[in-house]
Amino acid sequence: MQIQTVATQPISGQKPGTSGLRKKTPIFMGPHYLENFVQSIFDVVGAAGKTFVLGGDGRYFNDRAAQVILRMAAANGAARVIVGQGALLSTPAASHLIRLYKTDGGIIMSASHNPGGPKEDFGVKFNMPNGGPAPESVTEAMFTRTTEITEYKILSAHDVDLQTIGRHDLGGMIVDVVDPVADYAALMESLFDFPALKAMFASGFRMRMDSMCAITGPYATEILENRLGAAKGTVVHGTPLPDFGGMHPDPNPTWAHELMAEMMGPSAPDFGAASDGDGDRNMVLGAGIYVSPSDSLAVLAANAHLAPGYARGLAGVARSMPTSAAADRVADALGIQYTKPRPAGNSLATCSMRARPPCAAKKALAPVRTMCAKKTVFGPSCCG
What distance in Å separates the CA atoms of residue 259 and residue 291, rounded to the nearest whole number? Answer: 13
Active site residue 112: yes
Report which secondary-structure segment, H or E, holds 185: helix 182-191
Nearest Cα neighbor of 87 from 65, 102, 113, 103 is 65
**DSSP secondary-structure letter at 88?**
E
What are the phi and psi torsion angles at 95 (to 5°)?
A: -60, -40
| Catalytic residue chosen out of the listed positions 40, 90, 95, 112 | 112
What distance in Å separates the CA atoms of residue 383 and residue 19, rounded to the nearest whole number? Answer: 9
Amino acid at 266: P
Q: Which long-range contacts (CB under 8 A, 24 or more apart) does 167-170 make?
A: 170/1, 170/70, 170/71, 170/74
Q: How far is CA 383 from CA 56, 195, 251, in A?
A: 15, 28, 18
Say whether 3 sits in a helix, a strand or coil.
strand
Residues 6+ apart with CB under 8 A from 298: 324, 326, 327, 329, 330
Active site residues per annotation: 112
